[in-house]
Structure 1
Amino acid sequence: MSSDNRKRPVLRADPRPAGRPAKAAKAKPKPKPKAPPRKAPAKKAAPRKSVARKPAPSRKRRRSGGGPPPRGFFARIGWSIKRLIGWIFGVIFAITWRGIAVLLLILAGATAYHYSTLPPALDLTDARVRGSVTLLDREGDVYAWRGDQFGGIITADTVSPHLKNAIIATEDRRFYRHFGISPRGIASAVRINLREGRGPLSGHGGSTITQQVAKLLCLGTDFSPESGQTEAEYEAECRSGGIWRKVKEIPYSMALETAYTKDEILTIYLNRAYLGAGARGFEAASQRYFGKSAAEVTPPEAAMLAGLLVAPTRFAPTNDLARSQRRAATIIGLMQEQGYLSDTEAAVAQANPATLSAAAERLAGGYFADWVMDSGPSFLTSETTEDVIIRTTFDQRIQNAAEEALQYVFDTKVSKGSKAQAAIVVMSADGAVRAMVGGRKLQVSGAFNRATQALRQTGSAFKPFVYAAALDLGYRPNDLILDAPLTINIPGSGPWSPRNYTGNFYGEVTLTEALMNSLNTPAVRLSEEVGRENVRKVATDFGIARKMADGPALALGASESTLLEMTAAYAGILNGGSSVAPYGLTELRLLGDTTPLMGQAGGIGERVVSQRAAQELTYMMYRVIADGTGGRAKLPENRQAAGKTGTTQAARDAWFVGFTADYVAGIWMGYDDNTPLTGVTGGGLPAEIWRETMTRVHEGRPQKPLPMTLPPARAPEAPQVVQSRPDTREDPIRNAAERVIRDVLGQILGRN
């Protein structure tokens, strides 16, 4: 037996000859197995030595600049900078994603909060602070609108498809694809603003329709008068476009997108957008400008309405129709580009631009409408929260006549560039105002009204009240009065001597001649004779409500009044001596109701002077136009008319007020700053404006005689000369007694 410890022979390969390929070595046959040896006692196995394995390379990306620092000074600096930059970017990344996560949580919370506060969509279609007032003329036709007009709810389904397409093409072409905000639109707007030299959010805002709705809803904050803000301040805050405001719009817009469908959001927009001329919503605007529903508008009309969104006042067709049409043409091009109109439809729309309805085009009665709004109860007019319908005395034909007359005279008789102003009032004998022009600028709303708001000295236009007081006390048109130098001592002021406009005196003249030629000293003598208090009372009872002058200059119109008051006072002379209260409102009711809340049938008040006195005064004023200072007011075809000129000191004011059997008209002319007129008296341009107005007003009307009484011929052998008796001017009892005596004597002598 061989020993177990015997070494086995080492097998070696045969050496390979150089230059020859290696051959496979023949394997030697394995020796046959021998019988197993007798087992020796088991020995304890030695522990296996662990072999240290090289660690596998980590799959984790090594940080930039990791590992041991390189050798070399500059290499170490580069390595340090690289590690610092890597650390900074790591911190920024960590802060950024955590900040974004926080912002998303805040955005989600704010959106959820706004979502919980939103009511049903239809509840947001009409949340006006004020109601609307629609004014009708005497025939029942609309001529003016005030307040916030709301034509009724119109939805995205019922509005004209052309209008819907025009709005989307103009305001938000991706409206049906975005989630409430459009980053692309904002970026585009910022780029345009910067290119045009503005701030990034100044000018184009890039707001979607949803964001505009959020702005219209003021982010869910309703106006409250108790907040201390005015309505204008509230709306300005809602329209503000700062960065913080834009940020606040985002969650609210996303809440709108979550709560409502796209068509519901568009419905809110259609009903709340402001479109100029007091119109809130497209239905009101369509009715206002075109006299039709927003469901019926054509492509050019739809384009014009959509064009109002960017700047309602600037592009309102009632402000500048040509500019509004140019804006509409641009929008028609956008609709064509985006496939809403075919080439043929766009060409037809461009060739036939939208025009205003007849009522909107006239734009008549702005001053009159403002006056009616001020004269009615504020809670049903200027401050109404309801939609109100007011029927008025306004006559659009007469208004057009007055406006045309004023324009004609200023175009043909007044030098170009003149800043002089004029005002006109036309009314019926019962005080029903038919037309009103408050200044040379005709198409206005809320402007200063010189017919109702300007207090001006009346000059000689006041003299008829002096003669009315005298006639009512028994004087007659043919009674004589002295036109001669007169001096009155005024306590505290010293002597005062009135003079005539011509500088001459004419001796004894009749009362008719004195009024006809507007002589000053006879008017003062007569006022002193009958008593200033009586003159003041007659003027006050006729409607001159202002405080009057205390001295003798009262007779010459030193007191102030408005044109409306003076015209109404003359209407009292026309109607036979009764006062009138000028009125324009005849019926007021709420929209949808048939029963009026208030109304007025006439303005005639109490009698001021006798009918005889009024009719004799009418004759005297008839002579003013026929033979006196008012000759330039004569009407064609010898139509009878009566009136009185008026010119104040230094010609700061020029008046002509007069009437026919049908209408009373008052004219005032002057400068707003009281600059004296040059070469203008009441018998000049004001008389011509009056003639042009009344000629147009009476076109086609039959002639009617004035309600006047011609005085009996005066007996030359028994003249009655009225002397100045200042001692009687403050004795009303004596004056009344004299009046009774004169009436009795007049009846005995057959003078009545």
Structure 2
Amino acid sequence: MAGVVMMTAVAIAGFAIAIYAAWLFHDLPDGNEIVDYRPPTSTRVFAWDGTLIGEFAKERRVFIPYNRIPDRLGKAFLAAEDRNFFNHSGVDVGGLSRAMMKNVVNFVQGRRLEGGSTITQQVAKNVLLTNERTLGRKLKEFILARRLETSLSKEQILELYLNDIYLGYRSNGIGTAAYNYFGKSVDQLTLAEMAYLAALPKGPNQYHPTRYKERAIERRNWILGEMAKVGWVTPAEAEAAMKEDLVVQAAPQRAKYRDADFFVAEVESRAKNLFGDDIYSSGYYLKTTLDPKLQTAARIALMDGLELYDRRHGWRGAWGNIPLTEGWQDDAVQAENHLPERKRAPFERPDWQIAIVERASGAIRLAESTTNENRGQIRGADVAWTAGNLKAGDLVYVSRDATGTYHLHQVPAVNGALVAVDPWTGRVVAMVGGYSYSLSKFNRATQAKRQPGSAIKPFIYATALEADFTPASIVMDSPITFRGANGESWSPKNYSRTYYGPQTLRKGLELSRNAMTVRLADKVGMKTVAAKVVQYGAVDKMEPYLSNALGSTETTPYQLTAAYSAFVNGGRRIKPHLIEMVQDYQGKVIYRADQRNCPNACKRAFDGTESPRLTPDGQPVMDPIVAYQINSYLQGVVQRGTAVKAQVLGRPVGGKTGTTNEYRSAWFVGFTPDLVVGVFVGYDDNRSLGDSETGGSSALPIFVDFMMSANKNKPVKEFRKPKDAVFVSIRGHEEAFRPGTEPKPVERVPGEVDGPKPYNEVWRDGLTGQPADEVPVQKQPTEQPKKKKYVDEIEEEVLY
């Protein structure tokens, strides 16, 4: 009877175990599933020259193929985690037994129990299972480890492990850990640094490099000793590595280069449109168009220019005020933390310090000091700038120059953007979307639509030149009134309220005459003008209203700057782009911005013959001679017009200023033969910049500062002239004409008497008097405009 009961119990127990096993393993993954598994990896973003400028990832991980993993780095992890990895078949029975014996002691002493898992088991757990600490999970781990050993090679398993393991410091895998901890790639790590990374799988927080530095070094040195025991390094190498200090970066960094935050954010948005959420997990290599040197110059020029504008408009007061008592430093930090983000010291100005004013004369104390002195004196010019509005207890930002003098700063309320484009390829080599990305993520280069004012005029004149006008045409610069069907009237006015009578198109654009521009647009026809300006790419849409000829249709700095490229590259509309090429993790090109087809000759080996000729980038939208005509006019804007300050660059340069009604927006878009640069300055709420804050005074200086850096040590180049143009001197200027449109010599009629003649006889191809389709014009004032004494007194244009 007892035997029956025992057999029944055994049967029941066996049945129960069978049921448990069936339940436990019913959803057990097949080891073959991991053959094609690849852990989520970061998309890394690089500048044109290979500088790392950003990463896109949900888990920060850089995948390192096995053949690129340094042998000693792999051996360090084997010494720490699984010395017999290449000898066992997934489960190390001896290692498991040793771990169980140690756990008896660990349990008694209250320490964390060891799992005794091999690297294969850890891969099975990390990739296919959960982290639950149960007997069932451990059994699954054993079975899957054996399956993995039959599905993958040892090298593949180790590759997965080293790329998937979490190592703290926001690092998944050795590639990211090497960069986050030490700012290096894996092949640049020292033996000591490799051993430290191998110490981290046991517990990244437990061996934190600063909080538990001694413990971390002790674990690192133990691993070095284990490597020496098995002959993976020599005792001398291990001993030398043990003497090294453990020095890591203060915090993980996405990239050491931080001047391109606006650019990287825009790249992320565009990459997501191309590839969706795959950019956060597929490990793409993304090459951008950015030139880091130009980007840094652009960031500095824009920040300096906005600060200079802000300084012209006075001191707005301290950002806080607290009692100067013991512990005021903590109170100052708290006060800054409660400031709106846009008013805090920008990350991009690391030299700015918090200071408290002791006396109205400018004596200050520093919240933190890198020198032995914690007191200073604000320079006299800055004290005068505050107009007596400094008082004791004021919290301010200061910076110390090389002479030990302290400069006073305030965060500008104004903002702006700068875009630099290669006019031949459309590569955006620099883009800054605001004063500081740390204070505002809004990208004014691509997202802020504003009226461009007179910066749109070159496209109006280009439309006229593509119609029936030539550089010899004459247009009246005089008051004019347009009356609508309902009786309302509109009278565009020149900024200076002066009018110069009949003028060439060159003078109209160089001096930015509003009345001439509107007359020109009206003669050509605003429907034609609007269609052409859209075709040129300056705006997305333009209504056929004459006021739009003066720049009342909104556009972005990014779009307008790219459109100006046509004046440099011979009339081609290029597509501005930030992403040059994208490769997948295997190196296969999956996106390329350059869509031109190369003939078969591109694939042949060099044989000394001429290289294959590719068609230029972009779509022809403008006659090449017309493009050069506008280019020449815009060079005149710098030589004689509203942008004479740019002459300091000492090289061929053209451009156009723009200012809108009530001085709400200031623009300058300029170019050299290799670069087109657009600058916009304005408040985010579109309020006035202040009287006389024109494109020439607010935006142009930023352009000049940037171009001084961009062209440093570069040879002077001339603009390309169209080969088939006919060049004729008109009023002292060499002008390019399309063949057949150049002025013809007027033969003298026998018996004709010399003397004054009407304009419409002297300038036979010009526009004078009253066009048949135009309403009556106001008479020109009898008072003649005063001549300018200096070229730089030419006043800026404003849209009316």
- Which bin holds the TM-score, normalised by the shorter protein? 0.5 to 0.7
Say if 2:297 is the partner of 1:405.
no
Partner of 2:217: 336
Say if 2:183 is the partner of 1:290.
yes
Partner of 2:628: 615
| Displacement of 1:645 | 0.9
Partner of 1:82: none
Partner of 2:38: 126
For residues 518 and 353 of structure 1, do their structure 2 counterparts lie closer, same or farther at Cα, with a shift above 3 Å needed? Answer: same
Q: State the distance in 2 between where 1:469 and 1:369 align.
A: 36
Q: State the distance in 1 between where 2:571 and 2:430 align.
A: 24
The 5 Å alignment of 1:141-290 reads 143-147=53-57, 149-152=61-64, 159=73, 220=129, 254=138, 258=142, 270-272=162-164, 280-286=172-178, 290=183
| Displacement of 1:464 | 0.7
Say if 2:412 is the partner of 1:418.
yes
Partner of 1:234: none
The 5 Å alignment of 1:653-732 reads 653-678=665-690, 680-707=693-720, 712-714=729-731, 718-719=762-763, 720-723=766-769, 725=771, 727=773
What letter is aligned with 1:682? G
Q: State the distance in 2 between where 1:182 and 1:431 align.
A: 70
Question: Which of the numbers 462, 469, 474 marks the counterpart of 2:463?
Answer: 469
1:654 partner SS: strand
Note the alpha carbon deviations across 1:523-545, whole angstroms, 9 max, x for none: 11211111112222221221135
Note the alpha carbon deviations across 1:575-601, whole angstroms, 9 max, x for none: 122222223444444333466664515
Q: Is the 8 A contact 1:367 1:436 kept in 2?
A: no
For residues 505 and 441 of structure 1, do their structure 2 counterparts lie closer, same or farther at Cα, with a shift above 3 Å needed? Answer: closer
Q: State the distance in 2 between where 1:105 and 1:446 align.
A: 62
1:482 partner SS: strand
| Displacement of 1:573 | 1.0
User: Which structure has the larger Rg?
Assistant: 1
Note the alpha carbon deviations across 1:580-624, whole angstroms, 9 max, x for none: 222344444433346666451587334333222222211211121
Q: Which moved more, 1:680-689 or 1:447-456?
A: 447-456
Q: State the distance in 1 between where 2:622 and 2:636 align.
A: 20
2:256 partner SS: helix
What letter is aligned with 2:185? K
Q: State the distance in 1 between where 2:498 and 2:18 align.
A: 91
Say if 2:662 is the partner of 1:650.
yes
Q: Is the 8 A contact 1:427 1:435 kept in 2?
A: yes
For residues 593 and 499 of structure 1, do their structure 2 counterparts lie closer, same or farther at Cα, with a shift above 3 Å needed? Answer: same
Q: State the distance in 2 between where 1:364 and 1:517 align.
A: 37
Q: State the distance in 2 between where 1:207 and 1:681 align.
A: 72
Note the alpha carbon deviations across 1:214-236, whole angstroms, 9 max, x for none: 99969858xxxxxxxxxxxxxxx
Q: Is the 8 A contact 1:652 1:677 kept in 2?
A: yes
| Displacement of 1:643 | 0.3
2:245 partner SS: helix
Q: State the distance in 2 between where 1:206 and 1:531 align.
A: 85
Q: State the distance in 2 between where 1:618 and 1:258 align.
A: 74
Q: State the distance in 1 between where 2:439 and 2:198 align.
A: 21
1:645 partner SS: strand
Q: Is the 8 A contact 1:303 1:331 kept in 2?
A: no
Partner of 1:529: 523
What letter is aligned with 1:552? L
Q: Is the 8 A contact 2:653 2:670 kept in 1?
A: yes
Q: Is the 8 A contact 2:178 2:184 kept in 1?
A: yes
| Displacement of 1:658 | 1.0
Q: Is the 8 A contact 1:590 1:596 kept in 2?
A: yes
For residues 624 and 379 of structure 1, do their structure 2 counterparts lie closer, same or farther at Cα, with a shift above 3 Å needed? Answer: closer
Q: State the distance in 2 between where 1:335 and 1:645 align.
A: 61
Partner of 1:578: 572
- How many percent of aligned residue pairs carry the same amino acid? 24
Q: State the distance in 2 between where 1:677 and 1:305 align.
A: 58
For residues 691 and 252 of structure 1, do their structure 2 counterparts lie closer, same or farther at Cα, with a shift above 3 Å needed? Answer: farther
TM-score by length of 1: 0.61
Q: State the distance in 2 between where 1:462 and 1:183 align.
A: 81
Q: State the distance in 2 between where 1:178 and 1:294 align.
A: 37
What letter is aligned with 2:449? L
What letter is aligned with 1:702? P
Partner of 2:256: 361
Partner of 1:116: 28
Partner of 1:396: 292
Q: Is the 8 A contact 1:121 1:268 kept in 2?
A: no
Partner of 1:634: 647
Partner of 2:444: 450
For residues 493 and 683 of structure 1, do their structure 2 counterparts lie closer, same or farther at Cα, with a shift above 3 Å needed? Answer: farther
Q: State the distance in 2 between where 1:107 and 1:493 align.
A: 93
Q: State the distance in 1 between where 2:210 and 2:584 align.
A: 39
Q: Is the 8 A contact 1:436 1:451 kept in 2?
A: no
What letter is aligned with 2:216? M
1:518 partner SS: coil
Note the alpha carbon deviations across 1:228-252, whole angstroms, 9 max, x for none: xxxxxxxxxxxxxxxxxx9x66567
Q: State the distance in 2 between where 1:430 and 1:334 align.
A: 58
Partner of 2:13: none
Note the alpha carbon deviations across 1:338-361, whole angstroms, 9 max, x for none: 5747999687425x5459999932
Q: Is the 8 A contact 2:534 2:541 kept in 1?
A: no
| Displacement of 1:563 | 1.6
Note the alpha carbon deviations across 1:313-354, whole angstroms, 9 max, x for none: xxxxxxxxxxxxx9743343331355747999687425x545
Q: State the distance in 1 between where 2:494 and 2:199 align.
A: 64
TM-score by length of 2: 0.58
For residues 535 and 425 of structure 1, do their structure 2 counterparts lie closer, same or farther at Cα, with a shift above 3 Å needed? Answer: same
For residues 345 and 410 of structure 1, do their structure 2 counterparts lie closer, same or farther at Cα, with a shift above 3 Å needed? Answer: farther
Question: Which of the numbers 484, 495, 512 marks the counterpart of 2:489?
Answer: 495
Q: State the distance in 1 between where 2:169 and 2:217 align.
A: 29
Q: Which moved more, 1:693-702 or 1:538-547?
A: 538-547
Partner of 1:88: none
For residues 674 and 657 of structure 1, do their structure 2 counterparts lie closer, same or farther at Cα, with a shift above 3 Å needed? Answer: same
Q: Is the 8 A contact 1:124 1:268 kept in 2?
A: no
Partner of 2:278: 383
Q: Is the 8 A contact 2:567 2:628 kept in 1?
A: yes
For residues 458 and 220 of structure 1, do their structure 2 counterparts lie closer, same or farther at Cα, with a shift above 3 Å needed? Answer: farther
Q: Is the 8 A contact 1:573 1:615 kept in 2?
A: yes
Q: State the distance in 2 between where 1:704 and 1:306 align.
A: 58
Q: State the distance in 2 between where 1:335 and 1:667 align.
A: 51
Unpaired runs of 5+ residues, structure 1, are 1-103, 169-173, 190-204, 222-245, 313-325, 730-752
The count of aligned residue pairs is: 563
Q: Is the 8 A contact 2:303 2:435 kept in 1?
A: no
Say if 2:487 is the partner of 1:591.
no
Partner of 1:85: none
For residues 663 and 340 of structure 1, do their structure 2 counterparts lie closer, same or farther at Cα, with a shift above 3 Å needed? Answer: same
Note the alpha carbon deviations across 1:611-644, whole angstroms, 9 max, x for none: 22222211211121222222233343x2110001
RMSD: 5.4
